[in-house]
Amino acid sequence: MPDTSEPTPRQTFSALAREHHRMALLYARTLAGEEHTARDLSQDAFLLAWQNWSKFDVTRDFGSWLRGIIRNKWREHCRKNSRLSSWDDEALSKLEDTIKELPQSGFFDELKDCLDKLPETLLGPILAHYYQDLSTAEAAEQLNASEPATRKRLQRGRAALKICLTSKTSHA
């Protein structure tokens, strides 16, 4: 006999956390600019979200609520570390609008699939520049390539990702 009972709050939160985990990391990384801080911000935000789960208004969007927590954690991080944020309220609002326009379900899985299809010559520069936050010169040095070659590979990598993601959304 199948279980027709309602999911527990923990099960509901876990499902939402899994669904929004990549978005949270991407958002935190966009704010922080570095992977380590982004992971800390994201982890702290999920912990705070769970601690305040009973206060969550289920009529609200969980992703927006979580991004608000991440944003507040980022501001707190900047204050504690005497760091000025390059994100003013207007820029944060524009970022939020952009994220809301992204297709949420499966987008990051599709991006990962497209990244996995890139040849190493294009993947290396993409990872160095966008995931390690290296400048083109730094990425070129890390990859033992010239700056012009690295710029061209970034251009080709972005074009390949765009084609791949576009073909995935047109087949959906």
**CATH no. for residue 55?**
1.10.1740
Give the pLDDT confidence of 2-46 residue by residue, as tens digits. 556 788 888 888 888 888 888 888 888 888 877 888 899 999 999
- 85 part of a folded domain: yes
Report the percentage of the chain scoring pLDDT > 90.
20
Looking at the 3D structure of the chain, how many domains does it have? 2
Range of the domain at 115: 107-171
Q: What's residue 64's pLDDT?
A: 86
pLDDT at 133 over 90: no
Residues 113 and 148 in one domain: yes
- Which residues, at least 6 apart from 104, have a Cβ–Cβ distance to it below 8 Å? 19, 20, 23, 63
User: Is there a single domain that holds both residue 73 and residue 87?
Assistant: yes
3-state secondary structure the chain: CCCCCCCCHHHHHHHHHHHHHHHHHHHHHHHHCCHHHHHHHHHHHHHHHHHCHHHCCCCCCHHHHHHHHHHHHHHHHHHHCCCCCCCCHHHHHHHHHHHHHCCCCCHHHHHHHHHHHCCHHHHHHHHHHHHCCCCHHHHHHHCCCCHHHHHHHHHHHHHHHHHHHHHHHHHC
Is residue 67 domain-shared with residue 15, that is, in the same domain?
A: yes
The reply to whether 142 and 165 lie within a common domain is yes
Pairwise pLDDT comparison (80 vs 142), residue with the higher score = 142
Q: Is 45 a domain residue?
A: yes
Question: Residue 1: what pLDDT?
Answer: 53
- Within a domain: residue 1? no
Q: What is the pLDDT of residue 80?
A: 81
**This prediction's pTM:** 0.54
Same domain (yes/no): 13, 95: yes
What's the CATH code of the domain at 139? 1.10.10.10
Same domain assignment for residues 32 and 68 = yes
Reported residue count of the chain is 172
In a domain, 112, yes or no: yes
> Does residue 16 sit within a domain?
yes
Same domain flag for 147 and 68: no
Residue 33 shares a structural domain with residue 61:
yes
The pLDDT score that the predictor gives to residue 19 is: 86
Residues 14 and 95 in one domain: yes
